[in-house]
Amino acid sequence: MNKRLLVTGSFLGFLGVVIGAFGAHGLEKLLDADAIATFETGVKYQIYHALLLLLVASFALSEKTKKTLHILLLAGVILFSGSIYGLATNALTSFDFKTIGLITPLGGTLLITAWLVLIVKFFQMKK
């Protein structure tokens, strides 16, 4: 499980840097400042949770908990950041990402749930 967490975290981090660079250099003349700021929010959350996945691999947690966190964080990033990228670039596509706008809070809820799982598991740890 640790290898899977490390690979997923590294991949999401790599992708976050690539997407962030694309947003900063490729979209700056195509989108307004609000859309760029929204896009950057997606990148930030992706990077934050990529780093969390890397950290989870080093935590003294059960394999079941690590697997749960892996699923929650990966799905959360895909739904939250992915939908934000779509919403921010909505003006550039023929698909209206606003029609699937409920995906963003669902992704955010998954990310929040992952943090809550960590809090509970850390409280349950013995010295």
The tens-digit pLDDT sequence of the chain (127 residues) is 899 999 999 999 999 999 999 999 999 889 999 999 999 999 999 999 999 999 999 999 999 999 999 999 999 999 999 999 999 998 898 888 888 888 999 999 999 999 999 999 999 998 7
Question: pLDDT value at position 2?
Answer: 93
- pTM of the predicted model as reported, rounded to 2 decimal places: 0.93
Question: 8 near 57, Cβ under 8 Å?
Answer: no
Q: How many domains does the chain have?
A: 1
- Residues 6+ positions from 103 with CB-CB distance below 8 Å: 79, 82, 83
* Domain span at 64: 2-124
Question: pLDDT value at position 8?
Answer: 97
Q: Which residues of 69-81 are buried (b: 16+ CB within 10 A; e: fewer)?
A: bbebbbbbbebbb
Question: 65 near 5, Cβ under 8 Å?
Answer: no
Question: 107 near 82, Cβ under 8 Å?
Answer: yes
